[in-house]
Chains A and B, each alone.
Chain A
Amino acid sequence: MLTRIKKKGSSATSKASRVLLALTLAGSLLAACSKEAPATSSNAGANSKGNEVQQTSSFSYWSILDANASSSVTQLGHVEFYKQLETKTGVKINFSHPPVGSEDEQFNLTIASRDLPDIMEYGWLMYPGGPEKAIQDNVIIELNDLIDQHAPNIKKYLDENPEIAKQVKTDNGVLYVVPSIGIGTVNTFSGPLVRKDWLEDLGLPVPETIDEWTTMLRAFKEKKGASAPFTMLINHSQKPNDIIVGAFGVGREFYLDNGQVKFGPMEPGFKDYLTLMRDWYKEGLLDPDIGANDKKTLDAKMSSGKSGAVFGFAGSSIGVYLNANKDKNPEYDLTAAQYPVLNKGDEPKFINRADSYRPQGSAAITTSNPDPVSAIKWLDYYFTEEGHMLKNFGVEGLTYTLDNGFPKYTDLIMKNPDKLSIAQAMGKYLRANYPSPGFVNDDRYLEQYYELPQQKESIKVWGKYENNSIGVKMPLVSATPEESQKLAKIMSDINTYADEMYIRFIMGEESLDNFDKYVAQIKKMNIEEAIQLQQAAVDRFNKR
């Protein structure tokens, strides 16, 4: 009976044996393709005493592979800067990078598996419990003594810049990373953007006060046909990019007022802000669809002329919008506007200034590192003049030439023969345009990095008052694990409530007469406790 079963297709027996064969084949192929997990601990050179930098050491190094570099190389070791660095210092670095977009997950798993690389570049402030906990948990080591004894350049810089050193230390004064520090006079790369060609056509000045903004938006609507003159994104991650709220003297979330932590959405100034937004919305000056915007629709509105004013970045926004129009609408032009204020002559305070200490590109030495002394010496090189030039400008003659002492990038960078953009060319030969241990954002680099005149202008405009933000912006505090858990618990409810009410107030679905009820509700949800937690962290920061 078995043999009489016929089907379309092969017979059962040969099918089974074929399955088995394929399985074995697959198995052997898979076995052949699996490789040994790469060794993550490394061997230090034979002599690790003395101050010689020429030793044969090697370290394993974990960091994110920035998009600008990854377009040309698969690991940082192939970047020209690192090749040069290896020659000059004699230290070999074995890079490993998490897949792009999954860095946080990979970070957790690496730590969980206890298979730590020797050096890890990471924003250690994000570690639950902060950097102190990372040291306590035996993940990374304290660097104070090491820097004191073996890293003269780092030590000198930190001693001479106590305010910045404060950012880099824990609340107890412990140094935990070799930091990435933004030097340079401008640290603000985003802010209000408006249609310059429209302003010129309408004979309007670049707006400075809220009233001037209202006038401008009205003109955009009536005379330029903009259906959404001012547009924005309202989801949670976009809140720091709110450019209007600062005019009313309050921050969009937590901020400082004379050393006191306050929560913007419950302050009286916020009611004035909401009133303005509601009026704009009613008059059609604010995008009627701000509830449903995502980045794509935002970009589309700005590029196509449905909107005339928006929050944007010097690089990506200006670049994208101008590019999108350079063929079809060559008149299209953008200019940066100053962060708006209420009264003429006031100076804006709530500006998107990047902190000097850039946690993301800072390097920590892990407890797996067999030779921290050599490691810190190697990292010290980044803080020397030579190391700084090598990292940000590269090799003289190849990537830059000295023009009266000013390092000018060569065509290899500025007009790359392989058609790489400036950012990508820099990613291939240098490590200048994203955070890294040592100094970044050198003025001389910044001048040449932004190609378009509008971009160069924009950072000057936005950066003009950026130091005003120092007294109002929350500093880089670190919270204890208990604090951050409590904070997360309280704030997730409050943020949900505040965000919902925000859009309801603006769209007119909730009357602003209920503002006090809304504040009372926020208080009921324990905002005071959250403020206290933040205040404690700020106080600790100030005492560092």
Chain B
Amino acid sequence: MPQLSTKTAAAEVKPIGVAPNLNFCRKLARDLVRNKAIYIMLIPVILYYAIFHYGPMYGAIIAFKQFNVALGIGDSPWVGLQNFKDFFESYYFWRVLRNTVLISVYQLIFAFPAPIILALLLNEITKNWFKKLVQTISYMPHFISLVVVGGMITQFLARDGFITDIIVWFGGERTALLAHAENFRTIFVTSGIWQQIGWGSIIYLAALSGINPEQYEAATVDGAGRLRKLWNITLPGIMPVIVILFIMQVGHMMDVGFEKVILLYNPNTYETADVINSFVYRKGLGGSFEYSFTTAVGLFQSLINFTLLISANYISRKVNETSLW
């Protein structure tokens, strides 16, 4: 809308001091009316989040209470920051924090690009049947439950396991690989890549299929080689998806899940394997249901995660146009 008329209207009618607020309200009202259809479209979505996410959010206060199931959230006694103190004062706080961060960073560096690379490689395959075959088979491990995967890993990496055999064949030492702390992170991240690479590549394949083949044709006419096409067409084409997923992964740094860790670790590897969630899990095994403690630690993790996300998003916005908001 023409700037002139706004300014004139405001100058004519309202005193200076009140103008900015009213201006904002006016703008908002105008916006709502103009884009009525879109906002109406969003109503069910807003309702969903309000009811199922913001409604129950008060439950987070049990982090500051000693939660008792029977008394309920309202009547459970307040303990202030005690739960947080219990966590921060733990002898192993820094260790589990460090392990969590390190594993997440390794995953960011190695596990994040893996599905992208797979998608790009698949993209280069010309025989369609082969491409489909690889796609369909490569995502199968995603569906095998963690318990079975954990069992397989334990077996294959045992002293007489067949992966150990391969390593010995290449000149390594024969030993139970999972018994040594220095191996844990490698095993954890690598097995994660193997299990998720196929499933993770699906979204990138979808993004790749959205790139206009005419662009490639034009590039060929211009004499561009495969590498150049990759760099100038393919990558930019899927960059928005990559960036968004990367930002969201940064936002989950504190979340290394306990189930897989617990299946693969043992006291000898606590040094590198024990992460925040596995540590909290062991604490809850004492028999008393440590809801409050778990919630407090979760709140801490969420805070860090959200901060990381906001930072990553900000940097991304400055560097290119893609960002969450």
Given contacts A484-B288, A499-B267, A500-B271, contact A288 B68 (CB under 8 A): no
Give the interface SS of chain A, mostly helix, strand, loop or mixed. helix
Q: Write out, one digit per residue, whether chain B residues 150-167 have a CB within 8 A of any chain A CB (1) or not (0).
A: 110011011100000000
Looking at B6-14, B86-94, B113-121, B135-143, the stretch in contact with chain A turns out to be B86-94
Asked whether A503 and B290 contact (CB < 8 A) given A129-B68, A289-B158, A297-B158, the answer is: no
Which one, A104, A138, A291, contacts B178 given CB within 8 A? A291
The answer to whether A493 touches B90, judged by C-beta atoms less than 8 angstroms apart, is: yes
Are A292 and B288 touching (Cβ within 8 A)? no
Q: With A291-B176, A294-B151 known to touch, is A484 a contact of B287 (CB < 8 Å)?
A: yes
Are A137 and B268 in contact (CB-based, < 8 A)?
no
Q: What does the 1/0 interface line of A206-242 toward B look like (CB < 8 Å)?
A: 0000000000000000000000000000111100000
Question: Contacts A488-B286, A492-B286, A493-B92; is A500 near B72 (CB within 8 Å)?
Answer: no
Q: Which residues of A contact B286 (CB under 8 A)?
A: 484, 487-488, 491-492
B70 touches A111 (CB 8 A): yes
Residues of B contacting A139 in the complex (Cβ-Cβ under 8 angstroms): 70
With a CB–CB cut-off of 8 A, which chain B residues contact A504? 268
Contact with B along A111-132 (1 / 0, CB 8 A): 1101000000000001011000
CB-defined contacts of A493 to chain B, threshold 8 Å: 90-92
Question: In angstroms, how far is the closest chain A Cβ from the Cβ of B235?
Answer: 27
CB of A296 closer than 8 Å to a CB of B: yes
Task: Assign chain B's interface to a size class.
Answer: 35 or more
Given contacts A137-B71, A493-B90, contact A488 B176 (CB under 8 A): no
A-B Cβ contacts below 8 A, count? 111
CB distance from B295 to the nearest CB of A (A): 14
Q: With an 8 A cutoff between CB atoms, is A157 at the interface? A: no
Any A CB within 8 A of the CB of B27: no
Q: Is A525 an interface residue (CB 8 A)?
A: yes
Are B86 and A489 closer than 8 Å at their CB atoms? Answer: yes
Q: Which residue of A lies closest to B284 (CB)?
A: A488
A184 contacts the other chain (CB 8 A): no
B156 to chain A, nearest CB (A): 11
Identify the interface centre among B92, B266, B290: most chain A CB within 10 Å of its CB. B266
Is A128 a contact of B267 with CB atoms below 8 Å?
no
B178 adjacent to A492 (CB under 8 Å): no
Asked whether A495 is an interface residue with its Cβ less than 8 Å from the other chain, the reply is yes
Segment 284-343 of A: residues with Cβ below 8 Å from B? 288-289, 291-292, 294, 296-297
Question: A499 near B70 (CB under 8 angstroms)?
Answer: no
Chain A neighbourhood of B271, CB < 8 A? 500
Task: State whether A126 touches B70 (Cβ < 8 A).
Answer: no
Question: Which residue of B150, B178, B288, B293 has the most chain A CB atoms within 10 A of its CB atom?
Answer: B288
* A134 is an interface residue with CB less than 8 A from chain B: yes
B285 contacts chain A at the CB level, 8 A cutoff: yes
Nearest CB in chain B: distance from A135 CB, A: 10
Interface members, chain A 504-521 (any B CB < 8 Å): 504, 507
> A235 near B66 (CB under 8 angstroms)?
no
Contact B266 A503 (CB under 8 A): yes
- Give A495 to B279 CA distance when docked, in angstroms: 11
A128 with B178: CB separation less than 8 A: no
> Do the beta carbons of A291 and B283 come within 8 Å of each other?
no
> Can you name 19 A-B residue pairings with CB atoms under 8 Å?
A112-B69, A112-B72, A236-B282, A291-B178, A292-B154, A292-B157, A297-B154, A297-B155, A488-B288, A488-B290, A489-B283, A492-B282, A492-B283, A496-B267, A496-B282, A500-B271, A502-B267, A504-B268, A525-B91
Other than the known A128-B289, A296-B151, what 5 A-B pairs have Cβ atoms closer than 8 Å?
A: A138-B70, A294-B263, A500-B270, A503-B266, A503-B267
What is the interface of chain B, defined by CB distance below 8 A to chain A?
A: 66, 68-72, 86, 90-92, 150-151, 154-155, 157-159, 176-179, 263, 266-271, 274, 279, 282-283, 285-290, 293
